[in-house]
Amino acid sequence: QERPVASGGGSVQAGGSLRLSCAAAGYTIGSNCVGWFRQAPGKEREGVASIYTGDGSTYHNDSVKGRFTISLENVKGLVHLQMNSLKPEDTAMYYCAADRILWGYECYSGSWTLSLPRRFGDWGQGTQVTVSS
């Protein structure tokens, strides 16, 4: 199965917006968890948001809650991350990843975003988001 591919990054001023897209065909219908992660230089990779494709329930990290919104276009095989009110500390390489899961709770509770960076090795290219002050 094709791995999810992130796109849509760019450079914006603080307070601006970007919309990232994850091409995740094969993971957007059924019982899956699809999420966004980010890693800044010298920092650990962290979970940003995730969505359970079984019912659309979502999780957002406290650091982005109220500013970022994850959404699903299941038939199109796309997962988006709308990023508003961007801050310089949001600057990072952003990645998307996906897993088939048995229970939705591990996805929309946020536990999946905490566990995946410790066990997932090949993150692919990612898309760079740079926010200037």
Q: Kindly indicate the confidence band of residue 117, based on its pLDDT and cuts at 50, 70 and 90.
A: confident
Q: What pLDDT score does 121 carry?
A: 79
Mean pLDDT of 59-88: 97
Residue 48 is predicted with a pLDDT of: 98
Looking at residue 39, what DSSP letter applies?
E
Measured CA to CA in angstroms, residue 68 lies from 17, 35, 83, 109, 118 at distances of 9, 13, 4, 17, 23
Q: What is the pLDDT of residue 123?
A: 85
Per residue in 19-58, pLDDT tens? Answer: 999 999 999 999 999 999 999 999 999 999 999 999 999 9
d(CA 122, CA 126): 11
Residues 60-86, mean pLDDT to the nearest whole number: 97
The DSSP code for 6 is E
Report the pLDDT averaged over residues 93-118: 93
- Which pLDDT belongs to residue 1? 63
DSSP string, 8-37: --EEEETT--EEEEEE-TTTSSSSEEEEEE
Written as one string, the DSSP assignment of 68-127 is EEEEEETTTTEEEEEE-S--GGG-EEEEEEEEE-S-THHHHTSHHHHHHHHH-------E
pLDDT band at 61 (very low <50, low <70, confident <90, very high): very high
Give percent above pLDDT 90 in the chain: 90
Rounded Cα distance between 4 and 30, Å, is 16
**CB-CB contact of 20 with 6 (8 Å):** yes
Contact 118, 60 (CB under 8 A): no
Q: Are 129 and 84 in contact (CB under 8 A)?
A: no
Q: Give 1-17 pLDDT, tens digit per residue.
A: 678 999 999 999 999 99
